[in-house]
Chains A and B, each alone.
Chain A
Amino acid sequence: MYLKLAWRNLWRNKRRTSITMASVFFAVILSTLMMSIKEGTYVNMIQSMVGSYMGYAQIHADGYWDDQNLDNSMVLNDTLIKIISSDSEIDGYVQRVETFSLAASKDVTKGAMVVGIDPVAEGKLMELDERVVEGDYLEAEDKAVLLGAGLADFLELGVGDTIVLLGQGFHGVSAAGKYLVKGLIKFGSPELSKHVIFLPLKEAQWLFGMENRCTSVILLLRDPNAATDVTQQLAAHIDSRFEVMSWETLMPELINMIETDRVEGYVFMFILYLVVSFGIFGTVLMMLAERRHEFGVLVAIGMKRVQLALVVWIEVIIISICGAFAGMIGALPVCTYFYLRPVRFGEDISKMVEDYGMEAVLQASIQPEIFVQQALIVTGIACFISIYPLIKVMHMSAIEAMRQ
C-alpha cells in the first residue's frame, strides 16, 4: 500500500520526478563507466605486468627476493613438488633460473636478464610460445636463445645470428656462452621486451654452474585474485628454507599505483555525488514545503506520522533507485563493448603508457561488484537524505501544516 501511494505521488509531478531521476542517472552512469574502465585497466595492467611474466605467486629460497643472487638459489625437491601438486588452487608451476648478464653482439653490448626456462611448461602455462614474433620457439635441448624484440633491435641481431652471454655464475664461477638466436619474442610490456633473453633451463643451469638448481618457481593460480590467501596457506605447509610470495609482495608498487588511482576515482565520484545529492535534497525539501497542506490533511484525518514518513522515505528511495538502475543499464552496453573489444590508444598516449610498462589499451570490467557498488552508494545517499524530511514529518503539527 505504501509503495503504491509513494509511486503515484511521484508521478503526480512528472517533470520534477523525471529531472531528479535524470540527475541520479547521470551521476551513476558516469561513475559506473569510470570505475569500470579503471578496474578493467587494472586487470589489464596486472595481467601484462604480472600474469605474463612474473606470475601471480613465486617460491624462492628463503631470503632470495631481498638479495637476488645465484648463490641464493634453491632446489625444487620432491616434497615441494608434492605439496604444490596437491594444492587445488594451484594449476601448475614452472621453474626458472634468472640472472643478470651481459649480452653482446658484434658491436654492441648490453646488460640483460637471462632467464632459463622449461619451454614446454612455459609454453603451456604462461603461453610463452604465443609471444614469438619471428623465428621459432625453444625446445628443451636447444642451445639457442629467444631474444626480446627490443633487445634484438638494440643489439642489431636477428633470427639466425649469434649472441654471446657473459656473466657470473653460482658461487662465482665465470659464465660464458655463445648461442644461436632462434627466435624473437614480444611482450605486452615493451620494457620487458627490451631486457629479456630466454634460454632452455638445462642450458642455463649448465651455463651458470648450477645443476638442478633454480632461482624461482612460478605458480599458476586458478584464481589470480586469491593470490594472497593461497600463498599464506602454502607458506604454512612449506619448509622454512623456502619463501612463498604473492604478486602483491613481489610488486608492491603496482598495488600502490592501482590503489592510488582507485582512490582518485573515488574522490571524483564523491565530488560528483555530493553535487547531485544536494540537488536531490533540494528537491525533497521543496517537495515537502509544497505538500505541507496535504500532509496536514492526511495526519488530521488519521494517518499515523510514522506511516506518512514511510511513504516519503519510499518516494526518495524510488527516485534514487530508479535513476541508479537506469544509469547502470545505460552503462552496461558501453562497458561490455570495451570489455570485449578494448580500444587501443592513440600514438602519443601509447608511447607514454608503454614506457611505464603497461599495455596501451582501454579496457573495461564487467564485474558485478562495480555496478552493485553504485546501487549501494545511491541507496545510502537516499537514506541519508531522507533523514531530514523524516524528522520534519514526525514533528509536524497538522493544524500548522494546514494553515496556508
Chain B
Amino acid sequence: MGNATLQFLLVLMLLFVVAVPLAKYLHLAFSKETTKLDRFFSPFEKLIYRVAGIKNLEETGWKKYSVSLLFANAALLGIAYLLLRLQNLLPLNPGKIANMEPTLSFNTAVSFMTNTNLQHYSGETGLTILTQMIFVTMMMFTSAATGLAVAIAVIRALSSKGKTIGNFYQDYVRAIIRILLPLAVVVTLFLVAFGVPQTLDARTTVTTLEGNTQNIALGPVASLESIKHIGTNGGGFFGVNSAHPFENPNAVTNLLQILAMWCIPAALPITYGMMVKNRKQGWVLFGTMLAIFLVMLTVIYCAEQAGNPALNKLGFSSAQGSMEGKEVRFGIPLSSFFTALTTAATTGTVNNMHDTLTPIGSLVPFGLMMLNNVFGGEGVGFVNLLMYAILAVFLAGLMVGRTPEFLGRKIEPREMKLIVIALLIHPLIILGPSAIAFMTHLGTDAISNAGFHGISQVVYEFTSAGANNGSGFEGLGDNTPFWNISTGIVMLLGRYVSIIALLAVAGSLTQKQPVPETMGTFRTDNATFGAILIGTVLIIGALTFFPVLVLGPIAEFLSIR
C-alpha cells in the first residue's frame, strides 16, 4: 500500500510540474492578441491556410464555428474511409495486408475521427504502414485538435462578451501546430530513448531458442504512441495496445504515457481559470475532477489488490492481488492507475485487460466513462464538466433565491434546452443500443462470458463508444456488421451532438451581459461549489447508470464473493 501511494504521489507531482506550465502555454497559444509565439509558428500556419485555401480567419458565431468543424471532420472521414478501403493497392504495404471490409472501415474511420479509437481490428494484421502513418496518426492529431478547439472556443465565449466565439480553422490549426506537434515530437524522442521502436520495417524475423523462426511485427511505433496519448486517442499500433512490450516496454514509458494523456485534460481547467480571469474557479474545477479521480483510483486499486474473490474463497493467496490480464512489469498499482486514467481521460489505451478486472475494479472504468467528465477526452471532457457545472449552478443557484448565473451569465430556458440535449444523449446512446443488443442474436452472439459478465461486456462496448473512449472488454467478438455499424453510430452521436449543443450554449452565453458579483451571488469558486459539483455529477451519473451496473459488475461481484 505504502509503495503504491508513493507511486501515485510521484505521478501526481509530475503532473503538476507538467500541467501548470502547459496551461500557461495553452493560454498564450490561443490568445487573440499577437504573442511571441506568432513569430515562430505563423509561417507554418500561413502555409497551411494557403494550401487549404482558408482565407477568412475572422471570428464567427457558434453556428459557423460548428459548420466549419463538421465540414473539416466530414472531409477527413471521407478520406479515411477511402484509405482503408484501398490500402491494399496503396504503397507502403510490405505486409501485403488486404483492403478493409466496408462496415469495419466505417467503424474504424469514425472511431479515429471521433477521438474514440475503438478498434475492431488488430493493428498488426489489419492496417498497412501507410494507413498506420497517414490514417491513424493523422486522425489522432485532427480529432484531438477538434476537441481542443471546442474547449478553447467555449472558454473564450465564457470569458468575453460578444457575438462570436472564435474561428474554427484558426483554433484547429493552432492546436495542431502549436500544441500537439511540438508535444508529440518531445514525447516521441523520450519514448524512443526508453526503448520504443520507430522504423518503417513491417517486421523482423528472429530465430527463437528452440530454433524456430518467428516474425515479430514492428513499425513506426513511438511516433504513434506519443500522439495516441497526447491526443487522448488510445488506438494502439498492436492489438493489445500499451500492454505490448514494444508500445510500452517499461515503467518509465508507462509513466511517460500517463503524463502524456493526462497533461492537456489537466491543464485545461487551469487555462480556463486564466482565460475567465478567475484562477480560483479553474482550480475548483480541477480539484473536483481530481477528487473524483482519486476516489475511483482508490476503489480500483483496493479491489485489484484484494484479488479475485472467487479464487480467494478457494484458499489461493491474495498477496499478489488479481494479476490476471496484467503485466508483471507494471504490477497492480500502475495497472490500476493506467485503467483509471485511460477511462477518466477517455483515452482508451490499455496496459492491462479490462475484461479481467475484478468486478468491483471494473466499476471504475465503467463509472469514469459513464460520467465522461473526470478530466475527460481532449477538450470535450472539460466542456462536459462545464455543462455539469452549469447544471449544478442551476439547481443550487435557485436555492439562494436568484435566477441561476454562471460567470455572471444567467442560465435561462434556451441554455437549459441545449444542455439537456447533451445530458440526454449520453445515456441514450449507451442504454438504448445495449438494450437492442440484448434483444437480438446479432448482439448476444458476441458475448464470450454469459451471465452478468456478458452484460458488462456489451454495456462496456457501448459505454466506451459513447464516451469516445475506445477501450474494450476484449472478450466481446465485436468485428461483425452489427457491432461495427451500431458502435459507429454511437461514436458519431456521442461526439458531435454534445459538441454542437455545448458550442450553442457557449454562443448563447457569450451574448449575455455578465451580472456583477455581490453578496447575493452564488459563488462558483469555492469548496462549497466543488462539493455541489461533485454531488451533481455523481447523483445524475449514478442515478442514470446504477441499475445497469447492478445487473453487471455488482451482480457478478455478489455472485462470486
**A is bound by B:** no
